[in-house]
Amino acid sequence: MELDVLYAHIASPTVVAHFAALAQRVAQRELPHEADIMIGIHTRLLKAHHPFALKPAAPAPTLLPATSLGPPGLVKTDVSTSDAPQAEDEHKTGLSPV
């Protein structure tokens, strides 16, 4: 009932003047039971003015095949010592041997 009354008078001078103070008291846990009313006001305003905001978001489309939706695996690579820079290459590249 409190929610209905508050919503019905949301634009009244009294509610407009005191709504911010009410929200601050809820945030400071002085009126914890009023948090549900604040949530209810927000939900009603969204339903009235932005109904699509309350609909669950559609999952993002993916280009991956259904079998590859699991966690990525490690890729095994074979790095041989011939891939490492050689001492004679150091003066060319500025890289020291690993």
Domain boundaries, the chain: 2-54
| Distance in angstroms (rounded) separating the CA atoms of residues 92 and 49 | 67
DSSP for residue 34: G
Q: What is the pLDDT of residues 19-65, one digit of tens each?
A: 999 999 999 999 888 899 889 998 999 999 888 887 877 776 766 66
User: Within a 10 A sphere around the Cβ of 23, how many other Cβ atoms?
Assistant: 15
CA torsion sign, 14 to 42 to 26 to 24? Answer: negative
Across the chain, what does the average pLDDT equal?
A: 76
Cα-only R_g, the chain: 31
**One-letter amino acid for residue 56 of the chain:** P
pLDDT the model gives residue 15: 92
Asked if residue 63 lies in contact with residue 25, where contact means CB atoms within 8 angstroms, the answer is no
